[in-house]
Chain A
Amino acid sequence: GSKEEFKDEL
């Protein structure tokens, strides 16, 4: 999912 990928940010 898209936001899961963004959870790779701090």
Chain B
Amino acid sequence: NIFRVLGDFSHLASIFILLHKIQQLKSCSGISFKSQVLYMLVYITRYLDLPWTSSPYNFIFKVLFISSELYIIYLMARAYKPTNDPNLDTFHVEFLLGFAGLLALLFPYKYTILEVFWAFSIWLESVAILPQLFMLQRTGEAEAMTAHYIAALGMYRALYIPNWIYRYFSEPTHKVDTIAVTAGILQTILYSDFFWIYYTKVMRGEKFKLP
């Protein structure tokens, strides 16, 4: 459906915006390395089924997400390392890993490796933006490209919510994926404050600056 396709392309667009920002400005300042590593972990643990993916659409996106994330991490850790300031990226990710690990172990759909890792990846993704938002809060402002990146990344999961509603009514089984939906709503709520400032500042041509 249209919401899901828009969501997936928003996700892909966010990655292109981030890569464009890093290469255009020859800098990864303002980007949380910790959030990027968390996303890498999200892709690895969710796409363990990559070799068995039957849909070409999903297969291409999975490969694109994994490979582009690897490239982003390479750029931040090697090519543009001097522009990456660890002193601003101080969020304690062990809390996020503990949160996702605990929920994945307590409430997986099934106790299989694939299912537990899948649940872990869903919960981890829901909070993986926090080191990035925390960094933004410390610096108090962001380059336009960084703001566009976060907005597109947040829009992706927000668009999955109408997709789930649409699927609930259009598919005969009327099933709800409680893990994905709960985590998706949590993820979108975490972005809400950012979305508001993005809407009131950046979309009106102003700089992204916290009040």
Measured CB to CB, the residues of A under 8 A from B are: 2-3, 5-10
Contacts and interface: CB of A to CB of B under 8 A. Distances in A.
Contacts, number: 26
B21 interface: no
B8 A7 contact: no
Contact of A3 (B8, B160, B171, B177): B177
A9 B8 CA distance: 9
Interface of B: 4, 8, 11, 49, 55, 58, 61-62, 65, 109, 118, 160, 163, 171, 173, 175, 177, 180
Given A9-B4, A9-B160, A10-B65, A3 B175 contact: yes
Contacts of B62: 10
B154 to A, nearest CB: 16
A4 B202 CA distance: 40
A6 B168 CA distance: 11
A1 B61 CA distance: 24
